[in-house]
A and B are shown apart, each in its own frame.
Chain A
Amino acid sequence: MANILAVDDSASLRQMVAFTLKSQGHNVTEAADGQQGLNAAKSTKFDLVVTDVNMPIMDGISMIRELRKLPNYRGTPLLMLTTESGVDKKQEGKAAGATGWIVKPFNPDKLLGVVKRVLG
């Protein structure tokens, strides 16, 4: 079972992501913004990071950029949650080092499908 970090400023979405992943037996750590996420990632090694893009303090793409600089996260799957209108954001995220994205709105099944793609 994997160690997963879920970063989102929206508590409802974060809880949904966490709950869904926990239901599959994963360990999930929650963070409310990019800075918190980054701090958590520095203290524990996660196998997967799922992050929202628009967040206060530090946005998801900046967090991904910072994470990729850490030796522990060179090859770690980093997924971002983005909206259908965020075509530019996907490219920006990819350039920052994101592995892929989940398009909002999404449901738990879709989330699990995407997580499966990176965790197996």
Chain B
Amino acid sequence: MSIDISQFLNVFYEESFEGLAVMEQGLLGLDPDAVDGEAINAIFRAAHSIKGGAGTFGLNEVSEFTHTMETLLDEIRDGARGVTTSSINVLLRATDCIQHLLKASQEGSDVDQATIETVSSELEQLLSSEDETDSDKVSVDPHGDSLDQTLQIDSESMRVWSISFKPAPYLFTTGNDPVRLFSELADMGDVDIVTHTSRLPDFNDLDPEQCYLDWSLTLRASVEKSAIEEVFEWVEGDCELSIELSQDTALEKTMVTDETASEPESAPAENGPSPIKDTQTRAPQQKTTQAKAQKKANVAENSSIRVGIDKVDHLINLVGELVITQSMLGQLGEVFEINALEQLKDGLAQFERNTRELQESVMRIRMIPISFAFNRFPRLVHDVSAKLGKKVDLQVSGEETEVDKTVIEKIIDPLVHLVRNAVDHGIEAPNARLASGKPEAGTVTLSAAHRGGNIVIEITDDGAGLKREKILGKAFEKQIITEDDGERMTDDDVYNLIFHPGFSTADTISDVSGRGVGMDVVRSNIRELGGTVEINSTEGQGSTILVRLPLTLAILDGQTVAIGEETYIVPLASIIESIQIKPSQINMVAGKGETFKLRDSFIPIVRLHDIFDIKNSIQELSEGLLVIVEDSNGPKGIFVDRLLGQQQVVIKSLDANYKKIPGFSGATILGDGSVALIIDIPEMLRLATQSGPAITYPLTA
């Protein structure tokens, strides 16, 4: 009988990471002066579960490491040990190590042994410091000592054991049954059983739930005494038991009775699995290791999501309704008469409603609360502010806001950067804050909310705010803008300069942030997700950064446009406006091609029909439409024949179904069944300016 336990590994990893998050949160919330018992309990339980699971799934490194931590937590839980800021920090580092070990095992990557050993010895130190409770630390590796016993058994010859077993009358109420015990002995070798009925009362006095019998057994088997004792391990204290060797050179005799039962140390199997069972333990664990190695390759694609049961139930409900509607329509279709037209219309309307609801529910499966991303920030702020010698309170709100899992995963890094910046550049040092009449501790607020079809994340700090002059000075120095530009720019425009590549205002470059590769990457990452980032700031009062993201990457609001006979989709989010232009507005600019004058600025025109090499499209600019879009280099006008309509489109990956085509983010299927490509605006504009117009695409598909 063998069961491959590696199939449960993924669940184990997932719940362990959740457990680690619980531990981290709990540790960060711990107040050394007033320890919250329930919080310690929760941390302990999480560590305990990780250790238990890790041991079971053969991740011995994890279980060993967690063991020390668990012992420490156990002492804190029992009140035998106090909590200090330094011990909290060691425990926090220990959770990092566990995470690292788990990641390493999940992805098959290398383990940073040095760090693990450092933290491990820190834990040991903490454990052996002051309130030392138990000197007899329990062996973590149950295999170590039992291996010797296994070898011993192999060298044993056949032995004959005499066993006398006299259970207490209440034995059955413990759920134990002598017959089962005997059959287990019978598995070891030959057993002769003699039943003694001397305690059996008269039938009238007999209580059928009591055990009145006792037994003498003779076992012929090549087993150690400890193996037999293990069979009776559970009834120890509920019986009189003697196990004697009747034919062996080394004659020994032990009585296990009620008196000795009060000393649990006397049971040999207490501290580890029995020798026989242990030899079986090894094989599947090796298998796990092999499976792990195989898994290494496909670990990236193998991401899973945990879905609340209510969402699944809702889906099932909807599918049920869909089936009902379908059968109703089916019935109508069998014998259709013209007077049933009204019914058909109703049915189709219901069908549409069902489909829409189903779509919404299916999308909701991919949605997870943004707390998934927010949870790491208390720790981050704790670490960064400690490093910088600042005092910062982090306030988080709207963490239950649900967002597509992919969006959340991709927004984490930019958010980390923004929050880190808020603490590093935004919040002032405690002295400076007191000097300017602010409370010593700064506040960073992180919030999320649904607004329209978007999610809006706000990062606010009550720090120094952005300084216009400082940013301008830097921008002149880096030659990002000229002094003339600077004069004319509004505050908002100036603040947005910090998103320019190669811009950093920190006076000294710390290891916390500010290598000048930050904000522009943040902005381009957010743009990639189809989102925007804005900054508002008041000098002396703080800054707010507003990140706006689409709820999902799987569906987008698209504008269908026609060029010749082709249909393309332009993401609605990237369109500023669509206009018809007069010939008088068009200018030819040397080296830049066609531009047109919109209000006060000249906007370059990108002719999509040239880029896509579409012959029978409108050539005259005044006859078609210009769709104004914006990328990091300002607005551009995309020339199309006409706008068709707005609709939600389901994005189908081109990579997966065909191959990657530059300038397109995917494709979708239109209502009439035809395929339309979805234009990736920033990419398309980059291509257009790079290669100039009239470079044709190999669009033969």
Contacts and interface: CB of A to CB of B under 8 A. Distances in A.
Interface of A: 9-13, 15-16, 19-20, 23, 52, 54-56, 68, 74-78, 81, 83-85, 87-88, 90-91, 94, 97-101, 103-110, 112-113, 116-120
B430 interface: no
Ordered nearest first, which 6 A-B pairs have the shortest CB separation?
A105-B55, A99-B175, A100-B234, A12-B12, A77-B175, A108-B3
B179 A120 contact: yes
A120 B183 contact: yes
Contacts of A77: 175-176
A13 B53 contact: yes
Contact of A110 (B58, B270, B280): B280
A86 to B, nearest CB: 9
Contacts of A10: 12, 15, 49, 52-53
A78 B2 CA distance: 24
10 contacts: A10-B12, A54-B48, A75-B172, A77-B176, A83-B52, A84-B271, A90-B270, A100-B175, A100-B176, A108-B2
Contacts of A117: 180-181, 184, 231
Nearest to B49: A10
Contacts of A99: 174-176, 234
A75 B53 contact: no
A16 B51 CA distance: 16
A107 B285 contact: yes
A19 B8 contact: yes
Contacts of A100: 175-176, 233-234
Contacts of B173: 68, 74-75, 97
Nearest to A73: B175
B1 A112 contact: yes
B175 A75 contact: yes
Nearest to A111: B3
A99 B2 CA distance: 26
Given A12-B53, A83-B51, A100-B233, A56 B42 contact: yes
A116 B172 CA distance: 17
Interface string B138-176: 110010000000000000000000000000000011111
Given A104-B52, A117-B180, A84 B264 contact: no
Interface string B266-290: 0000111100010011001100000
Contacts of B284: 107-109
A41 to B, nearest CB: 13
B237 interface: yes
Given A16-B8, A117-B181, A118-B176, 4 more contacts: A88-B264, A94-B234, A98-B174, A117-B184
B63 interface: yes
Scoring A10, A83, A97, A104 by chain B CB atoms within 10 A of each residue's CB, the highest score goes to A10
B175 A15 contact: no
A119 B177 CA distance: 9
Nearest to A74: B173
B52 A13 contact: yes
A54 B45 contact: yes
A48 to B, nearest CB: 9
B49 A9 contact: yes
Nearest to B9: A12
Contacts of A104: 52, 55-56
Q: How many of chain B's residues touch chain A, expressed as a range?
A: 35 or more
Contact of B15 (A12, A19, A20, A74): A12
B377 interface: no
Contacts of B174: 94, 97-99
Contacts of A19: 3, 7-8
Contacts of A91: 264
Nearest to B264: A87
B237 A103 contact: no
Given A23-B3, A87-B270, A118-B175, A109 B280 contact: yes
B314 to A, nearest CB: 21
A117 B52 CA distance: 23
A73 to B, nearest CB: 9
Nearest to B237: A94
Contact of A118 (B5, B12, B44, B180): B180
Interface in B36-72: 42, 44-45, 48-49, 51-58, 63, 67, 71
A101 B9 CA distance: 24
A61 to B, nearest CB: 14
B141 to A, nearest CB: 10
B52 A105 contact: yes
A74 to B, nearest CB: 6
B301 interface: no
A76 B277 contact: no
B281 A20 contact: no
B3 A9 contact: no
Contacts of B231: 117
B55 A85 contact: no
B145 to A, nearest CB: 11
Contacts of B184: 116-117
A107 B56 contact: yes
Contacts of B183: 120
A14 B349 CA distance: 45
B312 interface: no
B291 interface: no
A20 B3 contact: yes
B209 interface: yes
B11 interface: yes
B55 A74 contact: no
Nearest to A110: B277
Nearest to B59: A105
